[in-house]
C-alpha cells in the first residue's frame, strides 16, 4: 500500500533508545512495533506528532483516562467486586481517546491498538493506583471550623460591632499552626469558640501523629529499599512528657476565658452554651474554663489559674486607655516564646499611642530610653490592618523572646534539620 512506510526508514527513525520501564520490568513496548504487528504502520505519524513512541509515552497522554476520578472511586470493601466494571469503564474511555487522537476516529484500529498494548497499560495503571491508594492522607488539612455546622452554630455569637468576623478564623489558624496548650482570652464572644475549636482539632491532630508514630508510618519513605526512612515528627516534642505534666498525654490544651459580661454588645454569655452544642459528641474533652471577673482587677494576674504560664494570650478589652496597665500585669504569665495578640490597636488614638511606645521598646531590644530593661524584656511585634473598616479593624501580635526581670529564661527556636 502507498500509505505504508518503508520499514527500513521507520527502523532508522527509531534507532534511539525509546524504552522505559518500571523497576523489575523489561523495556516497554515501542508503538512502532505494535503498529507493525497490526499492519497499520501508517498511523505512526499521528503518534510521533504527540511524541508517543512507547507504551509508557501512551500511558502518559492517557493518564486522565486511565485513572478513575475520586468521586467514582469505591470504598475499599467494594473495590474487589467492582474491579471488572472499573476496567471496562477505563477501556471504553481509552478506546474513544485513541480513536480521536491517533486513528482519525476509527474505533476498530483504536481497539486493536489497545488490545495489543492493554496488558502493559493496565499493569502500569494498577501499579499507579496501588501507590495512590497507599498514600497516607491522615495529616492533611482538617478541622470542624471548615464545616457548615460550625458556622451555623456560631451565628448566635456574632455581632458586627465586635469586629471579630475575620479575627475568629485568624486566631483559629494561628493556634492550629503554633499548637499552644494554655490559652487565655480576655473578652469572651465570637472568637472564643474559634480558639476552643482550634485546641480540640489540635488534640485530634496530635493523636493522629502519635498513632502514626506507633505504626512507624510518620516518616518520609526512602525510595531506595535498602535506605533508611526519614522521621517526619519532632522527637523532642513527643517525648516531653514529664512529672510536671498532669497527664501522660503529649498535648493538654485548656482555654481560660475572662469576661465581666458588661459590654453592651457582648455575646460572652452564649460562649459556654455554644461550645457545649458544638462538642456534644466529645464531653470528655471540654477544655473551656469561663471566669466571670473584672479583667482590670489588679489581683487577677496573680489569682487566675495559679501556676499556669500561657502559650497564647488574646486580649479584646475594648478599653484602649487601660491596655498598658493590663499587659504589664499579665506579661510575666506568658511563656518565653509565647504570643500575645491585642485587638483594635492601630486606628484609634488611645491604642496607637500605647502601641508606638511598644514599637519603640521592641526596636530598642526591650530597653527603656535610659538603658534599663523594661517590664517586657526582649520581644517582637507586628500589626495587621483591615483597611475597609472604621472601627475594630486591626490587631497586633507580640512575642516574648527572652530576658525578663521576674523570669530570665531565654527563648530561641530549635534548629532541627539542615534542609527545609
Give the three-class secondary structure for 390. coil
Residue 93 confidence (pLDDT)? 76
pTM of full prediction above 0.75 = no
- Per-residue model confidence (pLDDT) at position 142: 83
Residue that is written with C-alpha cell 472568637 in the block: 191
Three-state SS for 288? strand
Structural contact between residues 379 and 400, judged by C-beta atoms closer than 8 angstroms: yes
Of the listed ranges 73-87, 136-150, 193-207, the least confidently predicted one is 73-87
N-terminal to C-terminal alpha carbon distance within the chain: 61
Element at 202 (helix H, strand E): helix 190-214
Note the pLDDT of residue 7: 40
Q: Whose CA is closest to 272, among 149, 156, 392, 147?
A: 156
The residue that leads in pLDDT, 381 or 294, is: 381
Q: How far is CA 282 from the centre of its chain?
A: 23
Total residue count of the chain as it appears in this document: 420
Kindly report, residue by residue over 348-377, the tens digit of the pLDDT: 998 999 999 999 999 999 999 999 989 899
Residue for grid cell 465570637: 190
pLDDT-derived band at 285, boundaries 50, 70, 90? low
> What is d(CA 347, CA 352) in angstroms, rounded to the nearest whole number?
7
Lowest-confidence range among 16-20, 87-91, 155-159, 294-298? 16-20
- Report the percentage of the chain scoring pLDDT > 90: 34
Q: What is the pLDDT of residue 75?
A: 41
Question: Does residue 344 register a pLDDT over 60?
Answer: yes
What are the φ/ψ torsions at residue 20 (nearest 5 degrees)? -150, 145
Task: List all residues 6 or more positions away from 18 whose beta carbon is below 8 Å from its beta carbon.
Answer: 30, 53, 54, 57
- pLDDT, averaged across the chain: 79
Q: Are 222 and 228 in contact (CB under 8 A)?
A: yes
pLDDT at 14 over 50: no
In the predicted structure, residue 61 carries a pLDDT above the cut 70: yes
Q: What is the pLDDT of residue 12?
A: 40
Amino acid at each position: 500500500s502507498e500509505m505504508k512506510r518503508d520499514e527500513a526508514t521507520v527502523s532508522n527513525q527509531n534507532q534511539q533508545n525509546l524504552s522505559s520501564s518500571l523497576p523489575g520490568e523489561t523495556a516497554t513496548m515501542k508503538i512502532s512495533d505494535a503498529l507493525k504487528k497490526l499492519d497499520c504502520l501508517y498511523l505512526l505519524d499521528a503518534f510521533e506528532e504527540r511524541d508517543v513512541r512507547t507504551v509508557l509515552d501512551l500511558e502518559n497522554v492517557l493518564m486522565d483516562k486511565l485513572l478513575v476520578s475520586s468521586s467514582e472511586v469505591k470504598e475499599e470493601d467494594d473495590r474487589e467486586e467492582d474491579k471488572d466494571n472499573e476496567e471496562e469503564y477505563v477501556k471504553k474511555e481509552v478506546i474513544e481517546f485513541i480513536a480521536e487522537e491517533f486513528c482519525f476516529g476509527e474505533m476498530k484500529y483504536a481497539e486493536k491498538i489497545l488490545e495489543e498494548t492493554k496488558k502493559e497499560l493496565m499493569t502500569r495503571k494498577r501499579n499507579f493506583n496501588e501507590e495512590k491508594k497507599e498514600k497516607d492522607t491522615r495529616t492533611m488539612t482538617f478541622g470542624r471550623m471548615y464545616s457548615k455546622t460550625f458556622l451555623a452554630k456560631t451565628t448566635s455569637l456574632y455581632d458586627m460591632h465586635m469586629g471579630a468576623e475575620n479575627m475568629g478564623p485568624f486566631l483559629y489558624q494561628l493556634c492550629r499552626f503554633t499548637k499552644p496548650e494554655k490559652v487565655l482570652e480576655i473578652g469572651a464572644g465570637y472568637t472564643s469558640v474559634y480558639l476552643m475549636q482550634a485546641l480540640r482539632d489540635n488534640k485530634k491532630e496530635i493523636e493522629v501523629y502519635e498513632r502514626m508514630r506507633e505504626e512507624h508510618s510518620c516518616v518520609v519513605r526512602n525510595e531506595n529499599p535498602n535506605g533508611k526512612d526519614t522521621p517526619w515528627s519532632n522527637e523532642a516534642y513527643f517525648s516531653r512528657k514529664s512529672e510536671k505534666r498532669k497527664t501522660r498525654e503529649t498535648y493538654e490544651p485548656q482555654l481560660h476565658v475572662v469576661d465581666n459580661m458588661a459590654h453592651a454588645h457582648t455575646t460572652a454569655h452564649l460562649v459556654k452554651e455554644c461550645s457545649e452544642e458544638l462538642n456534644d459528641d466529645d464531653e470528655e474533652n471540654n477544655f473551656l474554663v469561663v471566669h466571670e471577673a473584672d479583667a482590670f482587677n489588679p489581683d487577677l494576674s496573680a489569682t487566675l489559674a495559679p501556676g499556669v504560664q500561657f502559650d497564647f494570650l488574646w486580649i479584646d478589652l475594648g478599653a484602649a486607655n487601660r491596655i498598658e496597665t493590663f499587659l504589664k500585669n499579665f506579661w510575666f504569665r506568658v511563656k518565653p516564646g509565647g504570643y500575645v495578640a491585642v485587638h483594635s490597636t492601630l486606628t484609634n488614638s488611645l491604642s496607637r499611642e500605647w502601641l508606638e511606645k511598644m514599637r519603640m521598646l521592641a526596636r530598642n531590644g526591650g530597653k527603656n530610653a535610659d538603658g534599663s530593661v523594661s517590664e517586657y524584656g526582649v520581644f517582637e511585634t507586628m500589626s495587621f490592618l483591615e483597611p475597609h473598616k472604621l472601627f475594630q479593624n486591626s490587631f497586633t501580635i507580640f512575642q516574648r523572646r527572652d530576658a525578663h526581670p521576674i523570669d530570665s529564661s531565654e527563648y530561641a527556636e530549635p534548629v532541627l534539620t539542615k534542609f527545609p
